[in-house]
């Protein structure tokens, strides 16, 4: 099942670069930038600012930024509606969320996730990643079909967004 990523309001250029590298490693082809996420080769920026962001993103992406189809949307709500209409299952990667659509992303519940994705009959997945501290904003959460949560074992309540992306992509690429 093809997987695309949405990076919404990710603050750190290094997180963006790391996510690009991880996504490419797991075979993701398409990434969508929205909100204030720093973008690679953002033509709306002055040349010296674009060069600075490109350098910072490329520092952790290590060439993956050249291998992926990167796109930007200025109207994320409409984009999500269009993706859903075209057959995408919209998944948010969240934690500490009180929502009946929340599913644990662990191997104890893996058969439940497999059944869920089979039942959805959607040919594509979009994994939505939100801001490093506050997560996915409520107006985007309303658009999601489900949320995935990585169960934590230690005292911290969340992983870094780029680490969480790697964990989620590993699990999602194991689904048939």
> How far is it, in rounded angstroms, from Cα 90 to Cα 81?
10
Higher pLDDT residue, 109 or 132?
132
Tell whether the model's pLDDT for residue 113 goes beyond 90. no
Tell whether the model's pLDDT for residue 108 goes beyond 70. no
pLDDT tens for 66-103 read 999 999 999 999 999 999 999 999 999 998 888 988 88
What confidence category does residue 145 fall into, taking pLDDT thresholds of 50, 70 and 90?
very high
Contacts of 120 (CB under 8 A, 6+ apart): 89, 145
Angle, nearest 10°, between helix axes 161-173 and 13-25?
10
> How far is it, in rounded angstroms, from Cα 166 to Cα 156?
18
171: helix, strand or coil: helix
What confidence category does residue 164 fall into, taking pLDDT thresholds of 50, 70 and 90?
very high
Which parts of the chain fold into alpha helices (H)?
A: 13-25, 47-61, 76-85, 110-120, 138-141, 161-173
Question: What pTM, to 2 d.p., does this model score?
Answer: 0.92
Mean pLDDT (the chain) is 92
Identify the CATH number of the domain in which residue 83 sits: 3.40.1280.10
Residues 155-159, mean pLDDT to the nearest whole number: 88
Q: How many domains does the chain have?
A: 1
> How far is it, in rounded angstroms, from Cα 163 to Cα 22?
9
Range of the domain at 34: 3-173
Pick left, alpha or beta for residue 8 (phi over 0 → left; psi -120 to 50 → alpha; otherwise beta).
Answer: beta
Query: So what's the pLDDT on residue 105?
Result: 82
């Amino acid at each position: 099942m093809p997987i695309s990523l949405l990076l919404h309001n990710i603050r750190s250029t290094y997180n963006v670069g790391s996510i690009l590298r991880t996504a490419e490693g797991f075979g993701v082809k398409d990434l969508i930038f929205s909100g204030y996420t720093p973008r690679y080769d953002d033509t709306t920026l002055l040349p010296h600012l674009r060069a600075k962001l490109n350098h910072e993103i490329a520092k952790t992406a290590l060439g993956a930024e050249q291998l992926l189809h990167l796109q930007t949307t200025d109207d994320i709500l409409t984009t999500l509606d269009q993706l859903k209409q075209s057959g995408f299952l919209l998944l948010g990667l969240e934690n500490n969320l009180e929502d009946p659509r929340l599913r644990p992303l662990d191997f104890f519940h893996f058969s439940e996730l497999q059944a869920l994705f089979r039942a959805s009959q959607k040919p594509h997945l979009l994994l939505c990643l939100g801001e490093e501290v506050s997560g996915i904003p409520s107006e985007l959460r309303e658009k999601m079909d489900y949320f995935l949560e990585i169960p934590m074992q230690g005292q911290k309540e969340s992983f870094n967004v780029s680490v969480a992306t790697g964990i989620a992509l590993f699990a999602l690429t194991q689904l048939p």
